[in-house]
Each structure stands twice: as structure tokens, then as C-alpha cells.
Structure 1
Amino acid sequence: MTSTVWLSLVSATLVISLTPGAGAVNTMSNSLTVGWRRSIWGIIGQQLALLVHVIIVAAGVGVLVTSSPPLLTGIRYAGAAYLAYLGIRLIVTKTKATTDDGATTISNSTGSAFGMLRRGLWVNLLNPKAIVFFLAFIPQFIRPDEPLLPQYALLTVTVVCVDVLVMWGFFASAAKPFRRYVSTPRGQRVLNIVFGSLFLAVAVLLLFIH
């Protein structure tokens, strides 16, 4: 991969990562509830999903998925249902006192490292648009006449690094000014409703926009 192609890849990935979606909502929600530093666990989960998507496309499974409307529809419904579940769960979550660093205490392991990692994984994994997107995106930066493994490795590292920087450096950081609102039960409640509603909105978009 030439430097020009790589810079094009970085630019394209940056634009894509900055586009608001379920991953951004999940990252900002985590940053508000558990703090900026610990929100990295949800971001790691989202990156694991990206790795799976790249592998799916590289293995040719993506073509099978996109060529099977019932399978793609099933994944789309599952993704929308999961996002709706996250939204409703956040809305009905009982607010609790904040910790010394201002992070909100969440019950049912929602704020645990494993819980955030798992949630981030499923948020990105159950997004059929990601498979379709990578199917159209990856071939533009892969030359079949050159060794494939180094190209896929560089592409994967680039996509993951850029997305981590955007999610943690932009979206998670963007939530910091609102941290003062989680210091009161009322503020926590309002933010839970806001982000729960955002999850529901993304679920509706995923379900009805083809």
C-alpha cells in the first residue's frame, strides 16, 4: 500500500468514524456513566466487532450475507432490537449516587469493564450496514496482485487506531462538559432518558432505513 493510498484510507476512515451512530452514542453514554478513562472498554469492544467485520469481508462471507436478503434482514432486526433494548434499559435504570471521581454507579454490571466491552461488541457487530460498508470500502484499498495479508493487516490497524482516536478523543471527550449533570439524581435521570432515546432513534433508523 503506497503512502498516497494509505493517507486516503486514513481520511476516509476519519470521516466515517466522525459520522454519529450507535458506536458514538454508546461511547458518550459510557463516558458519562463511568468516566472518560474507563469508557475505553466499550471502545475496545467496538473495535473487536470491526475486526470481525474485516475478517468476514476478507473471507468472502460478506458477499454471502449481502446476497441473502433474509439473512441480512435478520441481522438488521437483531441489531435494531438490541439497540432498542439498550435504550429502554437505560431509560428505566435507577439513578444512584456518584463516586468520588464523578462517575455514576450503575447496577447489573452495566458499568463493569466486561459489561461495556460486551455491549460495545454487540452494538457494532449487529450492524448489517457495517458489513455492507466494509464490503464496498475494503476493496478500494486492497490490491489483489500484491500479498494480501500485509495489506489487510495495515488496513485493520489503521481503521482500528483511527476509530479509537475518534471515539475516545472526540466522542468520549465531548461528554466531559456534561459530567457535572450526573452529580445529582435528577441530572442522571435526564441524561439516561436522552441517551436511551438516542439508542431508540438509531434502532428505528436501522430498522426502517435501507
Structure 2
Amino acid sequence: MPLSLWLSLLGASVVISFTPGAGAINTMTNAINEGFRRSFWGILGQQAALLIHVIIVAAGVGLLIANSPTAFNVVRYAGAAYLVFLGVKSILAKPVSEETALDIRKNEPAFSMFRRGVWINLLNPKAIVFFLAFTPQFIRPDQPLLSQYLIYIGTIILVDVLVMWFFFAAAAKIFRRFTRSARGQCIMNISFGVLFILVAGLLLLMH
């Protein structure tokens, strides 16, 4: 991949990663509940989903989903339903005592955070359609495909990991002090729950 093309890919990846969405909300929620370091498990799950999306597009399945209203809607509604589920779960979460809140980590299993990260990004048809339109701009069919795809997905994942962990997860540290009281926990839970539901609404409005 020529340097100029890779720089364009790098710039586009940065812009995309900084665009707030369900992944960013999930990362901040994990960082608040589990701490900065452990939030990385959720980020890894989200990257696994991105890798699956690129594989789907490269295999041509993405084109079938994009061209099939039924398949597209199944993924779209499933994704929206999952985000609503996460939102309601967050809103209904009960605050812990102030003593327990001093060490607010809930010790959620790493695999649970990883799995949620996968589903959040995987059940997003917008990502499939996006990669379907985005990928051909950086892949040259007359050149070796494997190396191009490795550079392509490697750049996207590296940028997204850095942005999610060192921006969104780090930013969540600021909110941790508000979760030391029951009132603060309720406000944070409701806020992030509503954000999940709003993203689900945007997903349903997408055609």
C-alpha cells in the first residue's frame, strides 16, 4: 500500500474512531465500572467484531446483506434490541453502598466484557455497509490482496484501540468520583442507559 494511501487510511480511521457511538459508550461504561485497565477486554471484543466485519466484506457476504432488505433489517433490529437491553439494564442497575463504591469495580469476568464488545459492534449493519463502501477505496485488486487487507485492518484496529483506551476509557476516569455516592451512580447509570437507547433509536432510523 503506497504511503500516501496509507496516510489517507490513517486519517480516516482517526476520524471514524473519534465519532461517538455504542462502542465508545460501552468503553466508558466498562472503564467506570471495572477500571481503566480492565476496560481493555471490552475494547478487544469490539476489535474482534471489526475484524469479522472486514472478513464478511472481503468474502462478499457484506454485499449480500446490503442488497437484501430482509437480512439487513434482521441485523438492524437485533442490534437495536441489544442496545436497548443494555440501556434498560443500566438504568435499572441498583447503586451500591458508599463504602463499596470506594472500590466501585464490579469484577465482571473478562470474557463477559469481551463478548459484549463483540456483539455491540457485530450487530451493527451500519458497520457492514460502511466497510462495504470504505474498503474498496484502500484495496487495489491488481496488487497482492492479503498484505493490503492486513495493513488495512491492522491500521483500523490499532487506531481504534488507542482512541478507545486512551481517550474514551481515560476520559471515564473523570466520572469515577461521581460514582462514589448512590445518587451519582444513579445519574451515571441512567445517563449511559439513555445513551445506549438513543444509539439504538438512530440505528432503527437508518435505512
Q: What TM-score results when the alignment is normalised by the length of structure 2?
A: 0.96
Instruction: Compute the displacement of 1:39 (Å).
Output: 0.5
Q: 1:177: which partner in 2? A: 174
Q: 1:133: which partner in 2? A: 130
Alignment length (residue pairs): 207
Q: How does 1:7-86 map to 2 (within 5 A)?
A: 7-86=7-86
Q: How does 1:119-130 map to 2 (within 5 A)?
A: 119-130=116-127
Query: Could you tell me how far apart the structure 2 residues matched to 1:97 and 1:62 are?
Result: 47
Instruction: Compute the displacement of 1:104 (Å).
Output: 2.2
Q: Matched residue of 1:38: which SS? A: coil
Contact 2:39 2:169 in 1 (8 A): yes
* Residue from 192, 201, 205 that aligns with 1:204: 201
Query: Could you tell me how far apart the structure 2 residues matched to 1:65 and 1:99 are?
Result: 50
Contact 1:31 1:39 in 2 (8 A): yes
Q: Percent identity?
A: 59
Q: Over aligned residues, Cα RMSD in angstroms?
A: 1.6
Instruction: Compute the displacement of 1:98 (Å).
Output: 7.1
Instruction: Compute the displacement of 1:96 (Å).
Output: 1.8
Contact 1:32 1:175 in 2 (8 A): yes
Query: Could you tell me how far apart the structure 1 residues matched to 2:115 and 2:102 are?
Result: 23
Q: Matched residue of 1:175: which SS? A: helix
Superposed CA deviations along residues 23-42 of structure 1, whole A, max 9, x for unmatched, are: 01111111111111110010
Instruction: Compute the displacement of 1:105 (Å).
Output: 4.1
Q: 2:113: which partner in 1? A: 116
Contact 1:32 1:103 in 2 (8 A): no
Unaligned runs of 5+ in 1: none
Superposed CA deviations along residues 59-112 of structure 1, whole A, max 9, x for unmatched, are: 111111101011001100000000000000111111224788955244xx7x32
Q: What TM-score results when the alignment is normalised by the length of structure 1?
A: 0.94
Instruction: Compute the displacement of 1:201 (Å).
Output: 0.5
Segments ≥4 residues shifted beyond 3 Å: 97-103
1:186 to 2:160 alignment: no
Query: Could you tell me how far apart the structure 2 residues matched to 1:184 and 1:191 are?
Result: 11
* Residue from 159, 163, 166 that aligns with 2:163: 166
Contact 2:13 2:160 in 1 (8 A): yes
Contact 2:17 2:163 in 1 (8 A): yes
